[in-house]
Structure 1
Amino acid sequence: MVEAATQWDLDAEVVVVGFGGAGCAAAIAAHDAGARVLVLDKESDARAGGSTRVSGAVWFDNQDPERAAVYLRSLSAGRPIPEPVVEAWADETARNTEWMRGLGIPVALAVPAPPEYPELDGSDVMRGWIGVEGRMGDGLLWAALSQAVRDRGIEVRLETPARELITADGEVRGVLATTADGTPLRVRARRGVILATGGFEGNPDMVRDHLRLTDPVVWGTPAATGDGLRMAVKAGADLWHMSNMMTLPGLRAPGFESGFYTAFPATNSFIYLGLDGRRLCNERVALAHGHARLNGSYQLFPTTPMHIVFDESARRAGPIVPGRDRLAVSWAALIEGYDWSADNSAEIDKGWIHRADTLPELAALLNVDPETLITTVARYNAACEAGHDDQFGRPARTLAPVSEPPYYAFTSAPLLAWSNGGPRRNENAQVLDPFGQVIPALYAAGNVSSTYSWCKDGGFHIADALAFGRIAGTHAATQ
């Protein structure tokens, strides 16, 4: 934390740190409420946009705030969210679609998605996901929002990372940033600073400390390194939801900043193994946004490295990583521009996926005991023949043997989509200290301080970013 001085290099009424979905929403709302706004982001134009740019970019169609509040309480699963935050979230997420249309952005139903937690009270609020042009992904949401920011003449300074908050008498007065050449830049914020810097999934130390993942692969922006969280903590912020996250089965590829989400959409001839070569779980468990129902409760999944093994029939069935034509998401696809091959052969040839003519040969490549792997596959194949998985209860309709050589495998790290924890905030998006007191003129929105304490459904993260971005921008502008 830097103490305020009289010398400032730039001056604004509201300073927004981060140019993703929450940052854009905050900047637009603050500007439209009459404030002079400055946006800072550490990335270049080609890489800015945070997780929003490479996400599914849709928000859930909340047509009933009362039921939405019920659902959010159910999803918290014994980790209660303060009621004023629940109510603000429920009311404001219901305004997302109208607000987007008010910006002149064409939006429509993208996916008529059912709830991922249908047995929970309030899940009837889930009717589908709304997206720009009625489409998912492809960077459409961030392109539309960032254009709306620029159309308003809001100043955006890219390649200008924020380093610390500048304070005086316990109040946030501005931001210490640096220019692209490393020159310090003292930015005054007369009404408030809004942190919209994203999560900490790209910070290995924070991930180990808070999420207990030792070697994850990042799915989204590599820029999510916990910058806003660190700045807020130094200014005295309390924290919430630090152990919550979303992970996926995924694959690491040499030379890429981000990993690939593996889905096996066209085949069931695959299994998940622990690093010891033994089968790990029901591979077709319903995987919601970061949680799966295992052993009678919703748990974070996956949370450990695992070997994913499949056979030649699965290789031929189609790409194990969804292509941009089907799922236009992820940093690797949208920013690094990689298109997965239709039959997985290119990635096998690159050595990203192991290939072996026999299971013992595959075991050697995975560094597992060959007899263990043979026994594991044989037991699974017997379950397929019997039509009943007595080990993990995989549904009979999804049982397909892993029996046609050659055999293939890769090790999933797992893939870390995003973290959820960060500075604790209230219903006005104001950051709180450990005693529940507001840190004056400091706000947080988006993945830097997600609302979600445990489970979250599809379209919830974007909905949260838009809603609390607007709340933060409007509140800061009126101080």
Structure 2
Amino acid sequence: MNRMNIVRGIVCAVVVFISCGAHAKERALSTDVVVVGAGSAGLSAAVSAAEKGAKVIVLEKMPFVGGSSNFAEGLFAVKTDQQRKKAIGLTKEEAYWHAMDYHHYRNNADLLAQTITNSTSVIQWLEKQGVRFEVVSMSPTEAPTWHLVQDRGTAHHGAALIQALQDKATELGVKILFETPANGLILDGSRVIGVKALNAKGDSYTIKARSVVVATGGFNNSKEMIKKWTRFDADKVFPTVPINKTGDGINMALAAGADHEGWGLMLHPGTHGEGIKPLGSLYAMTWQPLLWVNKYGDRVVDENAVWAFTFAGNAIERQRDGFVWSIWDDETVRYMMEHGIDNGLGVLVPIGTKLKDLPDEIANAVAKKSSSIVTGNSVEDLAHNMGVEPARLKQNIEQYNHAKEVGHDDRFYRKADTIVPVKTGKLYALKVFPYNFVSLGGVKTTRNMEVIDKNDNAIPGLYAAGADVGGLYGDTYATWTSGMLFQFSCQSGMLAGEKAAAFSKL
């Protein structure tokens, strides 16, 4: 682009900006229920409220619906028809006891119990909206509770569920305002009576409502909120999907006096750098149970932690400088090309996916001098390129390989038959970082999803759903109950919409 085109572009942008400001309007609307956010929680709330006869307006800050739910895959549930047909006998009691043990009783036990109890009915409700499911296990370490959303036309998994809910919302007369983020609640004393918003054109909205549901998808794209509310270094945990989830609903509720709990992030392994493709072959290697060492070349964990992606994310995040090196050899490259990966990235990159372009992606990243992938013709050569002490790395690789040979890992008690040796041909080391898919924690609510204040009193007219709600987890997302947050988003949205509609008629 030449200088004249650049100038023209700047002039056009200024004209558009001035025009927007000049034509910005003050808009006043009224409705029964306002839902802030059009993800799975917000759309569930909108549909549920409209089914109860409420007039509903949805405010969505992005130009599309779905948020991070578009990238989700399945919902947790117990005692569903899908499980019955596969003779899966897991009970709700067993699921609850297992989950409570996992969370060390640091979570809201009542909220978790309700979420498990209602898991059957929310699947049934979604089926009535046109969503279809297949029950699977996400990994060998997890229960068969993951209800994978089936495709809807060209939409896959989470996006298919979102499309079904949007279609139903349209059918029921729900009005969705895109690129119109809410920026504050309207209060009459302690009662919430509406929302203020500002759209991309500069138009301001004052929307009076009998009740409001905040369902803005959490805060995992906000470094400020991560720093303020969680134990994580916001500069060392990377967002999986950067779609502007900045805690808008949570912050509005907090400003209205809401209490809060359960802050955290859902971590998982990932990588990035020059020449590395998002969800490509190198990214898939970060989820495989290979040798992991820290910045000094020392093993740090039983690498089978990667079967539970949140365990793996935790293990990586706590390392000095927030990464580990995943190390493998030419034999592993051959295996991944011919047989495929052993641990899938959900169903986005399923188990058995053959990484046929792995050598090419490695070569491309190395040629671009990526700091995240190095190779070596020997342990000493690899150590040099990693920036670690050769003798130290060699000792750790030898201990790892020896554990395979003798059938016992005396360092981290990894099952020896699962160890993938590092000793054939060229060697490779890939930096693995902690990524976060969604935030955990937010405002406290009642069983009816009413937001409560610091005296445990419901704030009249204010409800919350999905990732804006705290208390479902302890300090870590439980992969054993895979899809719990996706299911909770739909269930809490369904319940919040129903209760908000009832409140609007009082």
Instruction: Calculate the TM-score normalised by the size of structure 1.
Output: 0.82
Equivalents in 2 of 1:289, 1:326: separation in Å?
9
Inter-CA distance 52–221: structure 2 relative to 1 (3 Å threshold): farther
Inter-CA distance 33–391: structure 2 relative to 1 (3 Å threshold): same
Alignment pair present for 1:133 and 2:150: yes
Equivalents in 2 of 1:175, 1:254: separation in Å?
44
Within 5 Å, give how 1:33-432 maps onto structure 2: 33-45=52-64, 48-63=65-80, 65=92, 68-83=95-110, 85-105=111-131, 107-112=132-137, 127-133=144-150, 137=157, 139-188=159-208, 190-209=209-228, 210-213=230-233, 214-243=235-264, 245-253=265-273, 262=283, 264=285, 270-285=290-305, 287-288=307-308, 290-291=310-311, 300-304=314-318, 305-318=323-336, 327-329=346-348, 342-348=356-362, 349-350=364-365, 351=370, 353-432=373-452
1:15 match = 34
**Greater Cα offset, 194-203 or 403-412:** 403-412
TM-superposition CA deviations, 1:57-97 (whole Å, max 9, x none): 333234555555444433431314153x3443233222012
TM-superposition CA deviations, 1:337-358 (whole Å, max 9, x none): xx99534234321345323333
2:22 match = none
1:239 positional shift: 0.9
Q: Secondary structure at the match of 2:305?
A: coil
Alpha carbons 2:316, 2:432 under 8 Å: kept: no
Alpha carbons 1:137, 1:327 under 8 Å: kept: no
Inter-CA distance 357–231: structure 2 relative to 1 (3 Å threshold): farther
Inter-CA distance 50–256: structure 2 relative to 1 (3 Å threshold): farther
Q: Between Structure 1 and Structure 2, which shows a larger proportion of helix residues?
A: 2
Alpha carbons 1:172, 1:441 under 8 Å: kept: yes
1:427 positional shift: 0.5
Amino acid at match of 2:328: F
Equivalents in 2 of 1:76, 1:101: separation in Å?
30
1:259 positional shift: 7.2
Amino acid at match of 1:462: F
1:32 positional shift: 0.5
Structure 2 residue runs of 5 or longer lacking an equivalent are 1-25, 81-90
1:303 positional shift: 2.6
Inter-CA distance 235–161: structure 2 relative to 1 (3 Å threshold): same
Equivalents in 2 of 1:318, 1:114: separation in Å?
18
Q: Secondary structure at the match of 2:493?
A: helix
Alpha carbons 1:249, 1:263 under 8 Å: kept: no
Equivalents in 1 of 2:346, 2:116: separation in Å?
28
1:14 positional shift: 0.9
Q: Secondary structure at the match of 2:70?
A: helix
**Greater Cα offset, 258-267 or 449-458:** 258-267
Inter-CA distance 78–167: structure 2 relative to 1 (3 Å threshold): same
Amino acid at match of 2:361: E
Amino acid at match of 1:216: V
Equivalents in 2 of 1:419, 1:310: separation in Å?
32
Alpha carbons 1:116, 1:458 under 8 Å: kept: no
1:476 positional shift: 0.5
Alpha carbons 1:271, 1:283 under 8 Å: kept: yes
TM-superposition CA deviations, 1:390-417 (whole Å, max 9, x none): 1001111111211123222222221212
RMSD, aligned α-carbons: 3.3
Amino acid at match of 1:184: S
Inter-CA distance 393–346: structure 2 relative to 1 (3 Å threshold): same
Instruction: Calculate the TM-score normalised by the size of structure 2.
Output: 0.78
Inter-CA distance 291–25: structure 2 relative to 1 (3 Å threshold): same
Inter-CA distance 401–104: structure 2 relative to 1 (3 Å threshold): closer
Q: Secondary structure at the match of 1:53?
A: helix
1:441 positional shift: 1.2
Alpha carbons 1:93, 1:466 under 8 Å: kept: no
Inter-CA distance 167–255: structure 2 relative to 1 (3 Å threshold): farther
Identity of aligned residues (%): 27
Alpha carbons 1:138, 1:329 under 8 Å: kept: no
Alpha carbons 1:354, 1:409 under 8 Å: kept: yes
Say which one has the larger Rg. 2
Amino acid at match of 2:101: S
Equivalents in 1 of 2:220, 2:385: separation in Å?
29
Equivalents in 2 of 1:160, 1:167: separation in Å?
20
Alpha carbons 2:404, 2:417 under 8 Å: kept: no
Equivalents in 2 of 1:20, 1:266: separation in Å?
27
Equivalents in 1 of 2:127, 2:283: separation in Å?
34
TM-superposition CA deviations, 1:184-217 (whole Å, max 9, x none): 32222x2211111112221123223413234112
Aligned residues: 444
Alignment pair present for 1:469 and 2:483: no
1:4 match = none
TM-superposition CA deviations, 1:322-347 (whole Å, max 9, x none): 79x984449xx9xxxxx995342343
Inter-CA distance 54–134: structure 2 relative to 1 (3 Å threshold): closer
Structure 1 residue runs of 5 or longer lacking an equivalent are 1-6, 118-125, 293-298, 334-338
1:256 positional shift: 9.5
Inter-CA distance 416–441: structure 2 relative to 1 (3 Å threshold): same
